[in-house]
Amino acid sequence: MLKKRLIPKLLIKHRQLGPVTRPVLVTTVRYRDIREVGDPVSQAKIYEAQFADELIVLNIDGTPIAGDETMLGLIERLATETFMPLAVGGGVRTADDFGMLLARGADKVTINRQAVTEPELISRAAERYGAQCIVVSIDYRTGMSGRPEVFIDQARTPTGLDVVAFARDAYERGAGEILLTNADRDGGGEGIDVPILREVADSIPIPVIASGGCGLAAHFTEALAEGRAEGVAAGTFFCFRDQNPMQARAHVRTAGIPIRAST
């Protein structure tokens, strides 16, 4: 039986240290309040030892991935030093960018801004590389209207698009997975937005990964059970709390949800 996934999210910023640019691991709160955590490769190795099911690695500087040796080098090192699945995104603009990331060791590529501004890229990449490696990352906020709206540019720019309709459109164009993040809950720890997650998951037959708001082990269980997510991604929760994927895993397992054993 297919197991549900617990996915640490590595948010990366470029930091200039003298003549070299290094990738640093950060966490955010509501996509602001950036805090440096440390070296992403060391942290990835810790997550691997804690039986994380997959890693999501996102460049949050908004710079293009093509020619970015800092990010590409990081992906290559992660694929060399860990043996776990990698979903990589941030600054992906063209179908060639997908090929480049896959060659460097990514298994899946996520797009966010480009899925809004140039949705044809989804089908173009899916035709070449298969739907299984196309992840559309959707950030949303719930404004005055009460309806969740898709945002881009680190959740700064509203698009006027409805989350459920946009997820459905991404699926129809060939996306193989949706990473759904409530940007208002990012880093807050008050729980996943289960009703919207459920609405999106029920409207499409591809996997949905929930993100934004995990503060307790119980939040993972809620997203997987009531929210019908295939996986839950978390950054702050795994980085700062006295919590790790093994403890969250134990909670999920006790609730009777199929998940990989920590062996």
Partner 1 sequence: MDFRNCTVGIVDYQAGNIHSIQSALEYLGAGPILVREPGALMEVTHILLPGVGAFGHCAARLQASGLAPTLERAVFERGTPLLGICVGMQLLADHSEEMGGSDGLGWIGGAVRQIPAAPAVRVPHVGWNDVLFEENFGEFAQGERADFYFDHSFAYHDPRKGHTIGSCQHGAPFAAIVRQDNLVAAQFHPEKSQTAGLKFLRSFLALQRPC
Q: Which residues are catalytic?
A: 139
Q: Which is nearer to partner 1, 80 or 157 (CB)?
A: 80
Q: Which is nearer to partner 1, 134 or 214 (CB)?
A: 134
Of 53, 68, 97, 184, the one binding partner 1 (CB under 8 A) is 53
Of 97, 139, 177, 186, the one binding partner 1 (CB under 8 A) is 177
Report in angstroms how near the CB of residue 206 gets to partner 1 at its nearest.
6
Of 102, 164, 218, 225, the one binding partner 1 (CB under 8 A) is 102
Of 56, 100, 131, 239, the one binding partner 1 (CB under 8 A) is 131
Please tell me whether residue 128 binds partner 1 under the rule CB under 8 A. yes
Please tell me whether residue 97 binds partner 1 under the rule CB under 8 A. no
Report in angstroms how near the CB of residue 234 gets to partner 1 at its nearest.
16
Of 9, 13, 104, 113, the one binding partner 1 (CB under 8 A) is 104
Please tell me whether residue 253 binds partner 1 under the rule CB under 8 A. no
Q: Name every residue whose Cβ is closer than 8 Å to that of residue 29 and which is 6 or more positions away in sequence.
A: 186, 187, 188, 236
Stretch 192-211: interaction string toward partner 1, x if CB under 8 A: -------------xxx----
DSSP readout, the chain?
-PPBEEEEEEEEEEEEETTEEEEEEEEEETTEEEEEEE-HHHHHHHHHHTT-S-EEEEE-S---STT-HHHHHHHHHHHHH--S-EEEESS--SHHHHHHHHHHT-SEEEESHHHHH-THHHHHHHHHH-GGGEEEEEEEEE-TTSSEEEEETTTTEEEEEEHHHHHHHHHHHT--EEEEEEGGGTTT-S---HHHHHHHHHH-SS-EEEES---SHHHHHHHHHTT--SEEEESHHHHHSS--HHHHHHHHHHTT--B----
Q: How far apart are CA 188 and CA 21, in angstroms?
A: 30
Which stretch in 13-21, 63-71, 97-105, 219-227 sits in contact with partner 1 by CB under 8 A? 97-105
Structure tokens at 82: 């860990």
Please tell me whether residue 260 binds partner 1 under the rule CB under 8 A. yes
Please tell me whether residue 73 binds partner 1 under the rule CB under 8 A. no
Structure tokens at 249: 């895993």
Q: Which is nearer to partner 1, 12 or 101 (CB)?
A: 101
Report in angstroms how near the CB of residue 79 gets to partner 1 at its nearest.
5
Q: Name every residue whose Cβ is closer than 8 Å to that of residue 196 and which is 6 or more positions away in sequence.
A: 140, 142, 148, 163, 164, 180, 182
Report in angstroms how near the CB of residue 3 gets to partner 1 at its nearest.
5
Judged by CB under 8 A, the chain residues 224 through 243 that form the site for partner 1 are 230-231
Binding site for partner 1 (CB under 8 A): 1-5, 48, 51, 53-54, 76, 79-81, 83-85, 102-108, 127-133, 176-177, 205-207, 230-231, 260-261
